[in-house]
C-alpha cells in the first residue's frame, strides 16, 4: 500500500484538485475516506503524525455496545452501538472477534445485581439476540478462579467484541486505497485555505517526515476528523471550543500474573464506575480511568500516579488472592477521548454521542466511539451532499472489509488460528505478509505476532519512525518487557534494509523509541521519566 516511493509520488501530485480532503488518520478519518472512495470520490487523507497515533491506537480495544451507557439512559447510543458491533463481527472476522464478558457483582456494589440483569436483557433486545445468563457464586469462581477471596455475590455472562484498534484503522485505510483513496501520514495541515466568501476550500500541508516541504491542497469539501485536536482547526475559524479532552489509562499485566480467560466487568469500589479486566493478545488489560486531560495535546499522554493507584485498587478489590503490585505491571498506555463538553462535574457523565458540525465549509465529525465509526462516516458524507451532489448512496450489499477468495489457500502452510489471524489483520494482503518472509513465520515470543509481520510493515505500511512499527503496526512495545528492547538487534536485521536507514539513523530511532516508551508506555517504575 505504501512503498518506499509512495510519499514522493503523492507529494508530486498533491496540488491537483481533490473532491475531498480528510484531516485526521484515526478510525473516524479512515472511515470517511473509505466510504467516500467507495462511492466514487477522489479523496485525500492527511495525518499530522502516524496513522492511528491518537485515540485510535490507545483505546480499550473493545468493540462494544456500551452497556454502561444504559446506566445513563443513553438508549439511542447503545442501540446504534450494538448493531454496529454485529456488523463489524460479520464484516471483519478475525480482526473483530467475540469476547465473553462476566459481570461480577460484589457486596457493597451501589447497583443491585437485578439491575445488571435488566440492563443485559435490554442490551440483548437492542442487539436482537438473547445472549446472557445469570451465574451463582460457585459457577463464577469455577470460571474465574482469580476472583477467589473477593466479596463476590454472583454475576452474569454476556458477550461483546474486541479488536486491535490500530490494525482496524490500517484495514479501513487499505479499503480506501483499493478504491482510489490516498492517505499520507506525517503531513500536517498548517492552516485552512478560504475563498473570497470565507468558505474553507483546502489546506496548506507540510511534510513532517523530514523534508519540511509545503503545498497548497484544494478540494470541494474538507472534513475535520482530528479527534481531540478538532477544536484547534475550529478555533482558527473563530469558532468557540466545544470539546472536552478526557483521558482513559490502562495497566497491562502478563497473563501469567493476572490470568483471565475472558473479560470481567465490575464496579470500582471507590466511585462505582464500570471498569474491566480483559485478555488481549496474550496479556491482561486493566482499565479504564475517566479523568480530565489538562496537559498539552501535542505531547503523548501517559498514566499518572493517581490513575495507577486507582487501577491497582481495582485489581486488589477483584483479585485479592493474587497480591499484585505495581512491580507486576508489564506496560501502560493512556488515550485521550474527545467528548462534547456540557460542563458535567463528572467526566464519566458526559455523553459519548458523536456530532457533525458544518462551519464555513469545514465539516467537523468528532466524539462517538470506535464501534460506530462507519455510521459516523456515512453521516458526515450525507452532510456534504450539497457540495458533492454526485455522491453515490452507500451500498448495503458491499462487505465492510473485502477479502480475497483465494487468500486462505495461499496460507495453507500455516495452522488454522494463525491463518485466520492474518486474514483478519491484513485481508487480501495476508498472503503477501506471509511471503514477505516465509522463513520467519514463527511467533515473536510473548506475542501472537509473527516475525514476518515486522518485515511487511516496514516494507508496505508507511513506517516513518521506529515507534510507528513497535507501538502501532506490531504491538511489541505494549506486550513485551521493556518494550521489546531485547529483540532490537534481530528487528534491526529484518527492517533496517527495508526502511533504508543508515546505522546512525537506526541508533537515533532506537533512542527516540526508548524515550517515548519510558514516558508514555512503560510500567509504573519508569513511566513519565
Domain CATH for 147: 3.30.9.10
- 387 and 362 Cβ atoms separated by less than 8 Å: no
- 128 shares its domain with 226: no
Contacts of 74 (CB under 8 A, 6+ apart): 66, 351, 352, 353
Answer whether residue 14 is part of any domain: yes
Dmax over Cα atoms in the chain, in whole Å? 72
Task: Answer yes or no: do 295 and 314 share one domain.
Answer: yes
User: Does some domain include residue 496?
Assistant: yes
Flag whether 229 is in a domain: yes
**91 and 228 belong to one structural domain:** no
Same domain, 143 and 248: yes
Q: Are residues 316 and 366 in the same domain?
A: no
Q: What pLDDT score does 458 carry?
A: 96
- Structural domains of the chain, count: 3
Q: Are residues 201 and 149 in the same domain?
A: no
Domain span holding position 101: 82-159+244-341
Residue 20 lies in a domain: yes
Can you spell out the DSSP letters for 129-198? S---EEE-HHHHHHH-GGGTTS-EEEEEEEEEEEE-HHHHHHHHHHHHHHTT-EEESSEEEEEEEE-TTS
**Cβ contact 186:197 at 8 Å:** no
The packing angle between helices 373-383 and 27-38, to 10°, is: 60
Asked if residue 396 belongs to a domain, the reply is no
Nearest-angstrom CA–CA distance, 121 and 158:
10
Q: Are residues 181 and 231 in the same domain?
A: yes
Q: Are residues 232 and 261 in the same domain?
A: no
Whether 175 and 401 have beta carbons less than 8 Å apart is answered as yes
Q: What is the model's pLDDT at position 66? A: 64
In a domain, 403, yes or no: no
| pLDDT attached to residue 72 | 58
| pTM (2 d.p.) | 0.95
Q: Let me know if 25 is exposed, middle or buried by CB neighbors in 10 A (0-12, 13-18, 19+).
A: buried
Say if residue 136 is in the same domain as residue 250. Answer: yes
Give 44's strand partners.
21, 182
378 and 444 belong to one structural domain: no
State the pLDDT at residue 19.
98
pLDDT score, position 385? 94
CATH number (domain holding residue 28) = 3.50.50.60
Give me the pLDDT at residue 68, please: 62
Q: Is residue 179 part of a domain?
A: yes
153 and 258 in a single domain? The answer is: yes
Q: Which residues of the chain have pLDDT under 50?
A: none
CA end-to-end span of the chain:
36
User: Residue for cell digits 526502511?
Assistant: 499
pLDDT confidence of residue 237: 96
**Together in a domain, 251 and 284:** yes
User: What local confidence, expressed as pLDDT, does residue 434 receive?
Assistant: 87
Strands 291-292, 263-267: pairing is unpaired
| Residue 132, in any domain of the structure | yes
Amino acid at each position: 500500500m505504501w512503498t518506499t516511493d509512495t510519499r514522493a509520488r503523492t507529494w508530486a501530485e498533491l496540488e491537483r484538485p481533490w473532491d475531498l480532503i480528510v484531516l485526521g488518520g484515526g478510525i473516524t478519518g479512515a472511515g470517511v475516506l473509505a466510504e467516500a472512495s467507495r462511492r466514487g470520490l477522489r479523496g485525500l487523507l492527511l495525518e499530522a503524525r502516524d496513522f492511528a497515533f491518537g485515540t485510535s491506537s490507545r483505546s480499550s480495544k473493545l468493540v462494544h455496545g456500551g452497556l454502561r451507557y444504559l446506566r445513563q439512559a443513553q438508549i439511542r447510543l447503545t442501540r446504534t452501538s450494538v448493531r454496529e458491533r454485529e456488523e463489524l463481527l460479520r464484516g471483519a472476522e478475525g480482526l473483530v472477534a467475540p469476547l465473553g464478558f462476566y459481570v461480577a457483582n460484589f457486596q457493597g456494589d451501589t447497583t443491585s445485581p437485578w439491575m445488571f440483569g435488566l440492563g443485559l436483557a435490554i442490551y440483548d433486545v437492542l442487539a436482537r439476540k438473547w445472549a446472557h445468563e445469570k451465574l451463582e457464586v460457585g459457577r463464577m469462581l469455577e470460571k474465574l478462579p482469580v476472583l477467589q477471596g473477593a466479596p463476590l455475590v454472583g454475576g452474569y455472562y454476556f458477550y461483546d467484541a474486541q479488536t486491535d484498534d490500530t490494525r482496524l484503522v490500517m484495514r479501513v485505510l487499505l479499503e480506501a486505497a483499493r478504491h482510489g483513496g490516498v492517505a499520507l501520514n506525517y503531513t500536517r495541515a498548517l492552516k485552512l485555505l478560504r475563498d473570497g466568501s470565507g468558505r474553507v476550500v483546502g489546506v496548506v500541508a507540510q511534510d513532517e517526515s523530514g523534508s519540511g516541504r509545503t503545498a497548497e491542497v484544494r478540494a470541494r469539501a474538507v472534513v475535520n476528523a482530528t479527534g481531540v485536536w478538532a477544536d484547534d482547526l475550529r478555533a482558527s475559524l473563530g469558532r468557540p471550543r466545544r470539546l472536552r479532552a478526557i483521558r482513559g489509562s490502562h495497566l497491562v499485566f502478563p497473563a501469567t500474573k493476572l490470568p483471565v480467560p475472558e473479560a470481567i466487568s465490575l464496579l470500582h469500589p471507590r466511585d462505582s464506575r464500570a471498569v474491566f479486566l480483559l485478555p488481549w493478545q496474550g496479556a491482561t488489560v486493566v482499565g479504564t480511568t475517566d479523568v480530565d486531560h489538562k496537559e498539552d495535546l501535542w505531547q503523548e499522554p501517559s498514566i499518572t500516579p493517581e490513575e495507577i493507584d486507582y487501577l491497582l485498587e481495582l485489581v486488589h478489590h477483584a483479585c485479592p488472592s493474587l497480591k499484585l503490585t505495581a512491580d507486576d505491571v508489564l506496560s501502560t498506555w493512556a488515550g485521550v477521548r474527545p467528548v462534547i463538553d456540557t460542563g458535567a462535574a463528572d467526566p464519566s457523565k458526559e455523553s459519548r454521542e458523536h456530532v457533525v458540525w458544518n462551519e464555513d465549509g469545514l465539516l467537523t465529525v468528532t466524539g462517538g466511539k470506535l464501534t460506530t465509526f462507519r455510521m459516523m462516516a456515512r453521516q458526515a458524507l450525507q452532510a456534504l451532499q450539497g457540495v458533492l451532489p454526485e455522491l453515490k448512496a452507500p451500498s448495503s450489499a458491499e462487505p465492510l472489509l473485502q477479502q480475497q477468495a483465494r487468500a486462505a489457500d495461499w496460507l495453507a502452510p500455516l495452522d488454522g488460528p494463525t491463518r485466520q489471524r492474518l486474514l483478519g489483520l491484513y485481508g487480501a494482503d495476508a498472503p503477501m505478509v506471509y511471503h514477505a518472509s516465509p522463513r520467519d513465520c514463527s511467533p515473536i515470543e510473548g506475542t501472537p505476532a509473527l516475525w514476518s509481520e515486522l518485515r511487511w510493515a516496514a516494507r508496505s505500511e508507511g513506517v516513518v519512525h521506529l515507534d510507528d512499527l513497535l507501538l502501532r503496526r506490531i504491538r511489541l512495545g505494549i506486550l513485551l518487557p521493556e518494550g521489546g528492547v531485547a529483540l532490537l538487534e534481530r528487528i534491526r536485521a529484518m527492517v533496517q534494509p527495508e526502511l533504508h536507514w543508515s546505522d546512525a539513523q537506526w541508533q537515533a530511532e532506537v533512542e527516540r523509541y526508548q524515550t517515548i516508551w519510558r514516558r508514555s508506555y512503560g510500567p509504573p517504575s519508569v513511566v513519565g521519566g
